[in-house]
Amino acid sequence: KSKQRWSGRFAGSIDPRALEFTASVSFDKQLYYYDIIGSLAHARMLARIKILTRAELKKIEKAFRSILKDVAQGRVEMKEELEDVHRNIESLLIKRAGRAGGKVHTARSRNDQVALDFRLYCRDRLNELHDSVASLEKVFLRLARDPSDVMMPGYTHLQRAQPVLFSHWLLAYVEMLERDRGRLLD
């Protein structure tokens, strides 16, 4: 069993319920790709400023490529006792790249790493959301072309107001969604 990060601070072992409560790997494992590409970029920077040698960087790059492939193909089990995806990836890196893998955290805090991973993850998810909103707008535009002149009550301040065409109501939502898409791009 892997040594837990608390093992040097307490005489007894941690209650399994506490481990289950604090472990995030069950949901943050989806950050593995971003964790690896962010760590790889950081390792390349460390090599550029001569903290890592070229040989160490090559080991790290090879290890990260193999980890990325193995995780993507489901050949890696994320261990709950390692608490999160970051420690799981770090553990795999050190196993595959040796001492060089342990140097990757030089000049970077875990908080910096998590912030980058999450930002990259959100950027990709926002791009997907942007595309979904654009698809919804197209559906609304297609429905608004219906020539049947269906009427419905318009609302102002949550009260019924003048009658409006259903197509106009849809077009109002297209405008709102278009504004939202712009915000997603921002």
- Residue 67's pLDDT is what? 98
Three-state secondary structure call for residue 132: helix
* Cα–Cα nearest to 185, from 133, 116, 140, 117: 133
Per the CB < 8 A criterion, the answer to whether 114 and 42 are in contact is no
The residue that leads in pLDDT, 18 or 93, is: 93
Show the tokens assigned to 75: 């050949």
- Residue 148's pLDDT is what? 86
Over residues 37-44, the mean pLDDT reads 98
Model pTM score: 0.75
Name residue 164's beta-bridge partners: 152
- Residue 129's pLDDT is what? 96
Average pLDDT over the chain, rounded to an integer:
91
Name residue 160's beta-bridge partners: 155
Q: How far is CA 110 from the centre of its chain?
A: 16
Rounded to whole angstroms, how far apart are CA atoms 176 and 85? Answer: 38
Over residues 27-56, the mean pLDDT reads 97
Specify the long-range contacts of residues 91-97, CB closer than 8 Å, at least 24 apart: 91/2, 92/63, 92/67, 93/39, 93/60, 93/63, 93/64, 93/67, 96/62, 96/63, 96/66, 96/67, 97/56, 97/59, 97/60, 97/62, 97/63
